[in-house]
Amino acid sequence: MSENPDDFLTEEDLAWELSYFSLMTELKRKNSSRYEDLASRLSVGGEEILELPTGVYKISVDKNGCGYSCREADGKNFQRLGWVKLTENPAERITAITDALAECEARAQIDA
């Protein structure tokens, strides 16, 4: 069992990680207004389909959390890619959904 994260990830993995987390930051900055509008709408619960250049993604929000999925090649099903717990605090919910939107789009862009 690796105690040190550095033992677990190669130089290449670490480089990938840095570009991925940096891309999330960049997307959040670039799309802040769109993400916040969408997050406010979704905050009470619901789903939104994101048609991105690399595929179709779905953001789902309910009382407990926010998840995102991508449409599989068969065109019918969605594979769940991520989920985060949401609190009941409205501002915290919007922040967390905004983060999830940036993450979903980063994964789509970086093909993760």
Partner 1 sequence: MDKFLHRLKASISLTLAIFISSSFLATAAGAVATPPKTKCFIEVQNAHISTSILEQQGRLAVKVNAKSQCNFPQSSVILTVKIFKEGLGAPHLVAQRSTRAENPKSKGFEVKNQFTFAYCKNTTKSKYFGVASARATIRGKSYITPPVWSEKTLELDCGT
Q: Which one, of 57, 72, 59, lies nearest residue 109 by Cα?
A: 57
Listed in order, strand segments (DSSP E) in 72-110 are 78-85
Cα separation of 89 and 86, whole Å? Answer: 8
Q: Which of 50, 52, 56, 84 binds partner 1 (CB under 8 A)?
A: 84
Our finding on whether 24 is near partner 1 (CB under 8 A) is yes
- Torsions phi, psi for 89 (to 5 deg): -65, 120
Q: Which of 31, 52, 58, 83 binds partner 1 (CB under 8 A)?
A: 83
Count of residues of this chain found to bind partner 1 when the rule CB under 8 A is applied? 32
- 42-61 residues in contact with partner 1 (CB under 8 A) are none
The sign one gets for the Cα dihedral 27, 31, 37, 38 is negative
Tell the smallest beta-carbon distance from residue 49 to partner 1 (Å). Answer: 17
Query: Which residue ranges make up the site for partner 1 (CB under 8 A)?
Result: 1-3, 5, 8-9, 13-14, 16-18, 20-22, 24-25, 70, 72-73, 79-85, 92, 96, 99, 107, 111-112
